[in-house]
Amino acid sequence: MAFFDKIKNKASELGEVVNGKAVDMGEWVKTLPETLHGYADRYNPEELWEKLKTQAAKAGQELVMMVLTMFYTIRDRIQGTNVAEDVPMSDVLLLAGAIAYFVCPADLIPDVMPGVGYSDDLTALTFAYKKAFGIFTAASKGTALEKTAELLGDKFDPETAAKMTSKIINQ
């Protein structure tokens, strides 16, 4: 099963019960673009690095690689390096909003919940990633891969990274 299909299935499982409350992920996903654009003004690279330093292993290698690819794409667009200048600012804002949603502790499902805490973050990140997929460069993906390996240390799995990279390329 493809990585993104696993995420979609996990998100639908969340439609059952979280903290004793029914969660309708279908409705949440419908409003996701506006939600992420609303979070874009909260984008803060320093908070991202702090969260990644403390939570990378818990969040998972795939999520970290996705976040860092988005981060380096935003950075390159702002600096005008390694990315086409015609990259729509709406895509940059969508990526920034997804990263801000990941960093923000106040989201649909608290990150501290075992097993499901990052599921809503992963759904938001995946949505933004797939929407803006065409703007990612080999440079941003490579830098993200290197930084993921650095953050995870001995928990980094090159085989998982290769599989994810292959799946992303074939999307």
Structure confidence by residue, pLDDT tens digits, 114-142:
555 667 778 888 888 888 888 888 888 88
Distance in angstroms between the alpha carbons of the first and the last residue of the chain = 13
Report the share of the chain in percent with pLDDT over 70: 66
DSSP labels for 49-106? Answer: HHHHHHHHHHH-HHHHHHHHHHHHHHHHHHHT-SS-TT--HHHHHHHHHHHHHHH-S-
Find, among 5, 137, 120, 121, the residue nearest to 70 by Cα.
137
Determine phi and psi for 22, rounding to 5 degrees: -70, 135
> Does pLDDT of 3 surpass 50?
no
The confidence score (pLDDT) of residue 114 equals 53
pTM: 0.72
The pLDDT, as a whole number, for residue 35 is 75
Taking the domains of the chain in order of start, what are their residue ranges? 3-11+24-169
